[in-house]
Structure 1
Amino acid sequence: MSAAPGRLRVLLYLRAAEADVPAVEEAYHRISKDLAGTPGLLGNELLRDLTAPGAYAVLSEWESLAAFRGWETGSAHRGTTSPLRQFQDRERPSPFALLEVTAEY
């Protein structure tokens, strides 16, 4: 089965000290509510890494790279996502990845 053409998934890697875990989860929920209805955004998930304490990823799905870029370059992007910025995993070469869906079952 082939994927819908051009769908995009974005992974944002996060890391928090044990005391900050509730703040990560609270920020995720607040941002998700603010992003509800964003054109092109199909949904998102907060994923906890079971092998690394305090490590999380936010996986969002977008209709296309163009839809994501349109939102990313818009004026609301930085303000809306700022509550999670302090938790971005800076130990990685990049705290995020853009992944195009090329196949799925």
Structure 2
Amino acid sequence: MGSATDASPLYVFVHHRVAPEQADLLRGAYEKAAERLAGTAGLLGTELLVSPDDRSRYVLLMHWDGRRPFREWAKRERELGYPSAMRKFQDRERPGGHFDVFNDLTRVRDLD
């Protein structure tokens, strides 16, 4: 049985790092990834964010309709060998990992 967080909105932050002079490469990879993600069940939207204080740091924000659709998508991505055009820019040296997952606390009743 799932928890209340399984059906609550989910935000996934995927951290990327690229030299500022190569920002267009990341932007192009984002456009390809966004096109590929279009129509993915449970994905409500994506945004590419840049740090105003460090133009080498970027975050792909993915807004999901819940944990289940995100997990199903992640499983398919693993099976396909992680084909995202953005993968090569992921910040794999970031302490704590290259991505974070959060529920919207304002819409979660039970965090069990």
TM bucket normalised to smaller = 0.7 to 0.9
- What is the 5 A alignment of 1:19-58? 19-58=21-60
Moved over 3 A (4+): none
Q: In 2, distance between residues paired with 1:88 and 1:41? A: 20
Aligned to 1:18: 20
Q: What residue identity is the alignment partner of 1:72?
A: A
Q: Is residue 2:97 matched to residue 1:98?
A: no
Aligned match of 1:67 = 69
> What's the offset of the Cα at 1:76?
4.6
Output the CA distance in 2 between the equivalents of 1:91 and 1:50.
20
**For 2:80 and 2:70, how far apart are their aligned partners in 1?**
13
Task: Find the aligned partners of 1:22 and 1:66 in 2 and give their Cα distance.
Answer: 33
Identity of aligned residues (%): 32
Structure 2 gap segments, 5+ residues each:
1-6, 108-112
- TM-score after normalising by structure 1: 0.86
Amino acid at match of 2:10: L
Aligned-partner SS, 1:37:
coil
Q: Provide the aligned C-alpha RMSD in A.
A: 1.5
Q: Given the superposition, is the C-alpha separation of residues 103 and 77 from structure 1 closer, same or farther in structure 2, using an over 3 Å criterion?
A: farther
Is contact 1:44-1:61 (8 Å) kept?
A: yes
Kindly name which structure, 1 or 2, has the bigger radius of gyration based on alpha carbons: 2
Of 91, 99, 110, 1:89 maps to: 91
Question: In structure 1, what is the Cα distance between the partners aligned to 2:20 and 2:75?
Answer: 32
